[in-house]
Structure 1
């Protein structure tokens, strides 16, 4: 019945000619076997899927991703689903987890979710493994990618999946989890969304990125040039009308083009050998109304309108995403009455936050995903 409901909704949209982005059908386009080398442990069945979703906050497109079932027989009612949104790996097609596998940071977490008895639906994000360049840190698009792969999972494995599901992610994936949590119950009403876990998630970027320009001093925050290049690459490819190249230095354009075809680990190594500051990327500041509006559309994480519990994790030792951004997010959400629990780590860095918080995240999942 779940799959039938999704199919009927898709047919209705086509017949009525509906054009609103939020009403577009989310349908499975294709499925294929995953290479054994990219399949985590504790997996019974797995599949790589291509599915319809959002390309940017305002445009439709396609994404790929992986769906994993735990080993053994499903419990009564089926396996609950964890939508996993990965952290920054780069925007080139070869960086997609369904192609390259999960990296050493995230693979243990995916395996723990499977070992705990959850099916995992892991988006690659539109543009990583599909046409064009990923609209990096475009929260509404990443949210749709994370929600819609759960719908695709039900088209493939609906007979053994429960309606109940949550979304989680690290860093870029944590931002996606915030946005997905805000949209999940309306974007996938046939399913039973129960909550979200956002680990080391960047927020308030819409207040930071417009300040970029040639006068920005070198910052001690590791990885910020990498993040900036990926963001610029997505804007250049997916939003050519804003003319981002006019604001970039020759070096900025060169490195942006490199970011489009290189995974983050390789970009990071290149930047270690060729030190670059954010200011080096620009010939003119982005402080214009056009860019302020663009970054609000892409990156302004909601602070209200959440209808399911949130779990937020961040570490005092995180040098990639400064923890004051999360403090501000929590304060604003709590002012709006959002049900958000918070785990503050101390000695773990950005990457280590994921596994350090897994015991509590598994407890949260068991609590919110229990049958009612």
Structure 2
């Protein structure tokens, strides 16, 4: 009786107090699907495929849902035209910038926007296969945990594994990761864990462009007393972040910090792509302070935000290239200066390209010639 009761207690702790010795012990839960497992391969809408791509596919694969939970994501694979070179096409894992968190915003559904499609085309023209995660929750169940860096970084790594399983030796095991804005934030996380997360692959380096960092020190300051700030898109980004926390971190109860208007806008953010949300907010202006009834500066919320937002400042075992522009008002460059100072303190070696006149989105293509050169050096 004791043996059976112990087994039942281990298998179903919540019911231990009421289990009878004659009851069967529930079967153990199935282990999570290994990261990078290919779950489905399907065709892409031809309208979403860049002109520079030959073969293409939409993949669904196992990965992280949040920093602390397993799940799945979708994404795209694009191969250059023509036969693969000896050893297969080397890969660029492309982490996209903010497009929204609704399923219909997924680049594998809609195609890449006018900002990022030229970059994808440039990588293909340079002779690299492009694998591009949608991020978990954009195209899969639930709401994307926006700026959950550990999850987004894992999404960008695991699609490389899934793509190799889909295409085999047509793809090389050599790869790099790159991204703009939200994708730049994801790139820091992917770069810090790529070798350990995908040991069967040959990770070679990363390029991060206009990445928001040190947000874990800024976002908890949000509250009713925050004055209007000259940062285009700040309300949009905040709403996407709040929406992801509301859906994926219910224990935080983020709604209790929000005004009725804040809750309404957060719900709108869950089903609206970035461009549409921006248009709505321009027609119906609201400040950060008007979203909140109370500050987020408390231990519980700060702990979650630190886990999600704190970009790695060490652990990079392959070359890292950082790009930011002095003219970027969407993600101000002092955030990257702080990131570089922290990486310097940890002895990280990196390349840094500081642009001067380009805005946030313009930084991507302005940095492409040097990024392609970087890829050629590290992937040779």
Offset at 1:17?
8.3
Q: State how far apart, in whole Å, the 1-side matches of 2:343 and 2:94 are.
A: 23
Offset at 1:26?
2.4
Alignment partner, residue 28 of structure 1 = 38
Residue 255 (str. 1) matches residue 265 (str. 2): yes
User: Equivalent of 1:355, from 359, 365, 370?
Assistant: 365
TM, length-normalised to structure 2 = 0.91
Residue 164 (str. 1) matches residue 174 (str. 2): yes
Q: State how far apart, in whole Å, the 2-side matches of 1:25 and 1:285 are.
A: 37
Do the aligned partners of 1:18 and 1:24 also contact (CA within 8 Å) in 2? no
Q: State how far apart, in whole Å, the 1-side matches of 2:313 and 2:44 are.
A: 38
Alignment partner, residue 228 of structure 1 = 238
Q: Residue 137 of structure 2: SS of its match in structure 1?
A: coil
User: Equivalent of 1:212, from 222, 241, 256?
Assistant: 222
Aligned in 2, Cα 1:270/1:147: closer, same or farther, shift over 3 Å?
A: same
Alignment partner, residue 312 of structure 1 = 322
Could you report, residue by residue, the CA deviation over 1:195-217 in whole angstroms, capped at 9, with x for unpaired residues?
00000000000001111001100
Larger CA Rg, structure 1 vs 2? 2
Alignment partner, residue 375 of structure 2 = 365
Do the aligned partners of 1:28 and 1:152 also contact (CA within 8 Å) in 2? yes
Residue 341 (str. 1) matches residue 362 (str. 2): no
Could you report, residue by residue, the CA deviation over 1:104-150 in whole angstroms, capped at 9, with x for unpaired residues?
00000000000000000000000000000000000000001000000
Q: What is the alpha-carbon root mean square deviation over aligned residues?
A: 1.3
Alignment partner, residue 276 of structure 2 = 266
User: Runs of 4 or more off by more than 2 Å in structure 1?
Assistant: 16-19, 23-26
Alignment partner, residue 88 of structure 1 = 98
Q: Which runs of 5+ in 1 are unaligned?
A: 1-15
Alignment of 1:256-335 (within 5 A): 256-335=266-345
Do the aligned partners of 2:75 and 2:134 also contact (CA within 8 Å) in 1? yes
Alignment partner, residue 155 of structure 2 = 145
Do the aligned partners of 1:308 and 1:339 also contact (CA within 8 Å) in 2? no
Alignment partner, residue 112 of structure 2 = 102
Alignment partner, residue 17 of structure 2 = none
User: Equivalent of 1:130, from 140, 147, 166?
Assistant: 140
Q: State how far apart, in whole Å, the 1-side matches of 2:372 and 2:107 are.
A: 22
Alignment partner, residue 119 of structure 1 = 129
User: Equivalent of 2:184, from 174, 190, 194?
Assistant: 174
Could you report, residue by residue, the CA deviation over 1:193-251 in whole angstroms, capped at 9, with x for unpaired residues?
00000000000000011110011000001000000000000000000111000000000
Residue 202 (str. 1) matches residue 212 (str. 2): yes
Q: State how far apart, in whole Å, the 1-side matches of 2:118 and 2:238 are.
A: 28
Q: State how far apart, in whole Å, the 2-side matches of 1:154 and 1:84 are.
A: 15
Q: State how far apart, in whole Å, the 2-side matches of 1:241 and 1:230 are.
A: 18
Do the aligned partners of 2:36 and 2:160 also contact (CA within 8 Å) in 1? no
Offset at 1:300?
0.5
TM, length-normalised to structure 1 = 0.93
Do the aligned partners of 2:87 and 2:169 also contact (CA within 8 Å) in 1? no
Q: Residue 316 of structure 2: SS of its match in structure 1?
A: coil
Alignment partner, residue 6 of structure 1 = none
Q: Residue 144 of structure 1: SS of its match in structure 2?
A: helix
Q: State how far apart, in whole Å, the 1-side matches of 2:43 and 2:346 are.
A: 45
Offset at 1:44?
1.2
Aligned in 2, Cα 1:189/1:292: closer, same or farther, shift over 3 Å?
A: same
User: Equivalent of 2:56, from 26, 46, 50?
Assistant: 46
Do the aligned partners of 2:327 and 2:359 also contact (CA within 8 Å) in 1? yes
Q: Residue 347 of structure 1: SS of its match in structure 2?
A: coil
